[in-house]
Structure 1
Amino acid sequence: MKDSGYLDDFTGKISQIVSKANNLGSIIDNKRLVRKLLGSVPEKYIQIVASIEQFADLNTMQFQEATGRLKAYEERIKKPNKEEDTHNKLLFTKEDAKEKSKERKCEHCGHGSSNQGNFGRGHSFGHPLVYAFPHME
């Protein structure tokens, strides 16, 4: 499999080869097929291959299961295209701006803080008890 190739194309080719082999009377067992698949994927799949080899029973794993695990990993590591990435950044920026502009108010007395970092430090600086427990004014 080439580094730039997609997993669907590669597994489709393998399935065609297996089908042709079956038509010619040669049976390729599932164990061998899974091992060949895991051994021939590009290096970017090395983490999932190592995980599959460590935690799954390759002797009983079906080819479709191995393919499914690799496809799930491929979807996870896919980089979004530039337009999607820009859109996500803009949404984050808008949400971030909304959060920063919120005025926070005390749930007990309604005293506001304009998000200056002093929220919850007390309402009166003259009396230590009020400073420690601002809601006991």
Structure 2
Amino acid sequence: MSDNGTIEEYTTKLSGIASKSAMLGEVLDFKEMGCEDVVGQLKAYKERVKEEDKENDAQEKVLYASTDNSNRNND
């Protein structure tokens, strides 16, 4: 939570995170988690998303290169 953020904003963010994690099959019990645990979960999620984005970008580049090469061979 930033110094300028309100408790209500922070609570809303945590609620959103809990909803998203439930959709992913992970249920987090914030009553039993400390702030450090929540931050750790957020960092881990961010890294997973970043890795997925890298993999998707790499696959798109391979697909583009393959399509481009195929088009050149047809000309």
Q: TM-score, normalised by structure 1?
A: 0.26
User: Which has more helix, going by share of residues?
Assistant: 2
User: Which has more radius of gyration?
Assistant: 1
